[in-house]
Amino acid sequence: MRSEKKRLNSIDTLRGLTMISMIIYHFCWDLKYINGFDMSWYVEFPSYVWQQSICWSFILISGFCIHLSKRPVINGLIVFLCGVIVSCVTVIFIPEAAVMFGILTFMGSAMILTCLGKKTFDRIDPVAGFAVSAILFCLFKNVNRGYIQLITFKLELPSFLYKGLPMTYLGFKADDFTSTDYFSLIPWIFLFLAGFFAYGLLKDLSHKKIFDIKLPFVTWFGRYSLIVYMLHQPVLYGISMLIRK
């Protein structure tokens, strides 16, 4: 791809749509848990599917975009640092809704680790890489709950793994750990890698019009998603405070 075509507008558009969905979801969270609105539907299964669609989209797109970034390691460090900032701010100012090992901490970590292993991953056939990553993600999806499972196979993991913050960061969530936004390395690193290998499956289509879809405002939202992410919750929190009054 030529440098001016390096930016795939459809990826920004898809990320922008996901950002808008996330902002609406978080505003609903604020209305329910800060304002105390009666929103029983928010804790039901369709809302869980909504939440999962948001995080799956972000993680897959982030893995895909490793190939498009000029400085992926630096970007990973920036994203990780933003995650640390979110954790510090929430712990200090809203400890009842503190974020530890949230989505930004995870994605920054995944970006750095994937870049470190990129030369090895690039030697893997993208079809095989995508398939294995998807299977591993499904296998380890419930690792936070103490077991791994694939269809009818289920294996309880030893309890000694689920001790302390380092193991919680990896995916072995300690019993006394709480966070309003928790994304551990395992299993989400495998979904990130699925996005990484998806690029190899789709790169030959990158010059097609399907990868050049722009929507007013939405595409811009996706292009500057990190800034929007860092600003959206304080804005929503302020709006919630005004509504409360």
Q: How many CB atoms lie within 10 A of CB 67?
A: 17
Split at pLDDT 50, 70, 90, the class of 234 is confident
Tens digit of each residue's pLDDT (9 = 90 or more) over 8-20: 899 999 999 999 9
Contact 201, 133 (CB under 8 A): no
Confidence at residue 50, expressed as pLDDT on a 0 to 100 scale: 96
Mean pLDDT of the chain: 91
Peptide bond into 187 cis (omega under 30): yes
Residue 170, token pair as written in the block: 């990896």
Tens digit of each residue's pLDDT (9 = 90 or more) over 26-80: 999 989 888 888 888 998 999 999 999 999 999 999 999 999 988 999 999 999 9
Split at pLDDT 50, 70, 90, the class of 4 is very low
Give the domain ranges of the chain: 3-244
pTM of the complete model beyond 0.85: yes
